[in-house]
Amino acid sequence: MNDMDFTLQELMVVASSREIKDGEKVIVGTGLPLLGAMLAQKTHAPDMVMIYESGTIEARPLIMPLSVADSRLIPGAAMQGGLIEGLGMVHAGDVDVGFLGGAQVDKYGNLNSHCIGDFDHPSVRFAGSGGANDIASGCKRTVIIMPHLKEKFVEKVDFLTTPGYLSGMDSREKLRFPGKGPAVLVSTLGIFRFHKVTKEMYLESYHPGVTVEKIKENTGWDLKVAGDVKETEHPTAEEIRIVRDLDPTGMFLKKK
Amino acid sequence: MQSSKVMTSKEAVSKFIQDGMTVFVGGFFHAISYGITHEIIRQGKKHLTICQSSFNEHADQLIGSGCVDRVISSYVGMEIFGYLSCWRRAMEKGIPHPIEVEDYSNFSMTARFLAGALGIPYIPVNSLKGTDMMTHSRWMGENKVKLMEDPFGSGASHALVPALKPEVGYFHAQRADREGNVQMWGILGDAPWSLRACEKVIVSVEEVVSREDIGKDPNRTILPAYKVVAVVEEPFGAHPKNTQGYYDVDRDFIYEYVRASKNPDTWKAFMDEWVYGVSDRVEYIEKYIRKFGYRRFAKLKARNMRSESVNYGY
C-alpha cells in the first residue's frame, strides 16, 4: 500500500482511535467513533471498556452494530442495564472518553444539535441532544468529530445544546461539571486542540493534501494556528487494513 | 388469582387512551410497540402529549397523523437511517399543525421518570447547565428546569428537573402473564423507571406466558402487574424494530419509510398501506408476507442464543 492510500474519513477514524488510552472507559455511538474505538481496541488499547449510553457495558459485538441500541451488542456483553446504568455512569463522572458531533460547533467547542436559524422558527430542525449533552457534561474528556464546512464552524452556534468551554476562560470550570470538556476536535480537514487558558480552539495539524489557508477559509471565525503546526500523522498500513475489515460494506465509510 | 387483563389493542387503546392525555411511549430504539402506535393512529386520537427519552419513526407517524400537540423528549430522530420528515415538517412548517416541544437531554429525561417512579417532586442532574435548554421552554415555562445551589454546601449548582408522571404509558416486551407481570430483556432504555412513573400501563408482548413461568425467573420482571391495565398479545408487534430473542430490525422496511416520508403524498400512501389498510397486527403480518414473501419474513427471526439458566434454589 502506498503511503497516501487512505481516505480522509479513514484518517479521521485513525486519529480518533489514537485519542483512546489503554484501560480507559469509553462511551461510543455509531459510525466513525465506533470504528475508532474498535480500532483502538484491536491495536494499542486492548483493555479499553466500551460503554453504550443504552446501558451495554463491555460490548463484544460479532457484527458491526448500526444503532446505540442494536440487539447484536448484547450477547457477549459484560452487563446490560438501562439508561440509568449506561448514561448514569457517564453522569457520575466514571467514564474517561466520549465522542460527540453536531450540526454546528463554535470556537469554544460548544455544539448545536437542535436547529438552524431561530429556535422558535427554525429553517432546519434536528433531532435534539439525545445523550450528547450528558456525555459532554459527564465524561472526563470528549472528542468531537465534524465534517469541516464553513456553515458548521461558526462564530456562535444557533442553539447551544452541548457544552464545550461555553464562553471560554474559566466559564466552564465555574459550573463544576464532572467532565473537563473537549480535548480535541477531529475534522475532515485537520486536528484542533483547545488553549489551556483561553479555551479557544486552535489548529494543531492539517490533513495530507490540505493547507492551513483552506482550513481558515472554511472556518467561520479568525482561527488561531499553533506555532508548530504540522501535517497530521499518517495512518499505518495496519490501521487502514483493520478499519476496512471492520466496515467491509462501507456502511459508515464511503468507498474510496 | 387476579383477573385476566388480556385484550386486543383496539380495546386497550379505546379504553385507556383518551384525547388530550399525556402518554408515555415506550421503547428506546428497541422493542417499540408499533401495534399500539398504529391503533392510536387508526382511532384518530388527538391532542396527545407524548413523552419518551428518545423517539424514532413511531413518533414521526404519530406527529404526521395529527395525533400529537406536544412532545417531551431529548431526541426525535433515527441515527444513521436519516432524519424524520413528519417531525421536520411539523417543526419547520407547522404541517399538519404546529407542535410544541420541551427539550431535555437523554439522561435528564430518564431522571424525570426516575423521580416520578420514586414519588419525589424533582431530581438534581449534572447535565443541562450552561446550555440553551436551560433558558428555552414552552408550556412548562420556568417549571421546565431550575438551577439550584447544593443545600448541603458543596458550592456546586445543579439543574433540577421535575418528576414526570404520565397518565398512561404503553410499551412492547417479550412476555407477560395474563395479569400483567412483564418480563423484558435486551435494551431497556428509560424502563423500568418510565413505566413505574406512569399511572397505568398498556403492554403488548410477543407471548403471554403462565404466572408459573414468570415465577421461574422473577429477576427478569421489569413491571409488576399492579401497574398494568391491559396485556395485548401481538407477535411481531415491534416491527420494523427489533425484539431481542424474537426478530431483528427490518432495515429495508425502515429505509422504505424514510424514502416515503420525504413527501407528504408518498407518506400518506405508506400509511394507507401499512396502518389504515390493515385492522390489526395479524393483518399487518399477513400483508407483509403477501407483499415481500415468507423468506424475507423468516429471515428476520432471531437466531438461538439462549442464556444459561440460574439456580434460584434455597
CB contact under 8 A, B126 and A177: yes
Sheet holding A182-187, edge to edge: A79-80, A56-57, A49-51, A25-27, A97-100, A141-146, A182-187, A190-194, A201-206, A224-231
Main-chain dihedrals φ then ψ at residue B125, nearest 5 degrees:
-130, 155
Mean pLDDT taken over chain B: 97
* B253, B240 Cβ separation under 8 angstroms: yes
Average pLDDT of the residues in B49-71: 97
Determine the residue of chain A that is closest to B187 in CA distance.
A69
Hey, is the C-beta of A134 within 8 angstroms of any chain B C-beta? Answer: yes
Of the partner residues B104, B110, B244, the one whose CB lies closest to the CB of residue A84: B110
Average pLDDT of the residues in A49-78: 86
CB contact under 8 A, B189 and A90: no
User: Is the pLDDT confidence value at A166 over 90?
Assistant: yes
Residues of B in contact with A93 (CB under 8 A): 126
Main-chain dihedrals φ then ψ at residue A196, nearest 5 degrees:
-55, -35
Hey, is the C-beta of A67 within 8 angstroms of any chain B C-beta? Answer: yes
User: Is the pLDDT confidence value at A91 over 50?
Assistant: yes
Mean pLDDT lowest for which of A246-250, B85-89, B266-270, B289-293?
A246-250
* B109, B72 Cβ separation under 8 angstroms: yes
Among B50, B102, B126, which would you mutate to test the A interface (most chain A Cβ atoms within 10 Å of its Cβ)?
Answer: B126
Determine the residue of chain B that is closest to A67 in CA distance.
B79
Please tell me the pTM assigned to this model: 0.96
User: Is the pLDDT confidence value at A138 over 90?
Assistant: yes
Query: What is the percent of chain B with per-residue pLDDT over 70, rounded to a whole number?
Result: 99
User: Is the pLDDT confidence value at B175 over 80?
Assistant: yes
Of the partner residues B73, B188, B249, the one whose CB lies closest to the CB of residue A128: B73
Determine the residue of chain B that is closest to A136 in CA distance.
B127
Q: Which domains does chain B have, with CATH numbers?
A: 9-103+165-299 (3.40.1080.10), 122-162 (no CATH)
Q: Chains A and B: how many Cβ contacts under 8 Å? A: 173
Does A231 qualify as catalytic in the annotation? no
User: Is the pLDDT confidence value at A86 over 60?
Assistant: yes
User: Is the pLDDT confidence value at A2 over 70?
Assistant: no
Q: How high is the ipTM of this complex?
A: 0.96
At A87, list the grid cell. Answer: 448514561
| pLDDT class of B92 with cuts at 50, 70, 90 | very high
Mean pLDDT lowest for which of A37-41, A67-71, B38-42, B164-168?
A67-71
Q: Which residue has the cell 385492522?
A: B279
Fold annotation for A8-246: Glutaconate Coenzyme A-transferase (3.40.1080)
| pLDDT class of A28 with cuts at 50, 70, 90 | confident
User: Is the pLDDT confidence value at B1 over 60?
Assistant: no
pLDDT of residue A1: 44
Hey, is the C-beta of A133 within 8 angstroms of any chain B C-beta? Answer: yes
- What tens digit of pLDDT does each residue of A198-243 get? 999 999 999 999 999 999 999 999 999 999 999 999 999 999 999 9
Query: What is the percent of chain A with per-residue pLDDT over 70, rounded to a whole number?
Result: 98
pLDDT of residue A14: 96
Residues of B in contact with A74 (CB under 8 A): 186-187, 244
- Which of A 167-226 lie inside 8 A of B, CB atoms? 171-172, 175-178
pLDDT of residue A255: 59
Query: If we measure between CA atoms, which residue out of B109, B110, B68, B105 comes closest to residue B87?
Result: B68
Average pLDDT of the residues in B80-90: 93
CB contact under 8 A, A53 and B91: no
| pLDDT class of B2 with cuts at 50, 70, 90 | low
| pLDDT class of A68 with cuts at 50, 70, 90 | confident
At B217, list the grid cell. Answer: 425467573
CA B166 from centroid of its chain's CA atoms = 12
Query: Rounded to a whole number, what is the distance in Å from the CA of A99 to chain B's nearest CA?
Result: 14
Average pLDDT of the residues in B130-151: 97
At A83, list the grid cell. Answer: 439508561
Residues of A in contact with B153 (CB under 8 A): none
Residues of B in contact with A128 (CB under 8 A): 73-77, 101, 103
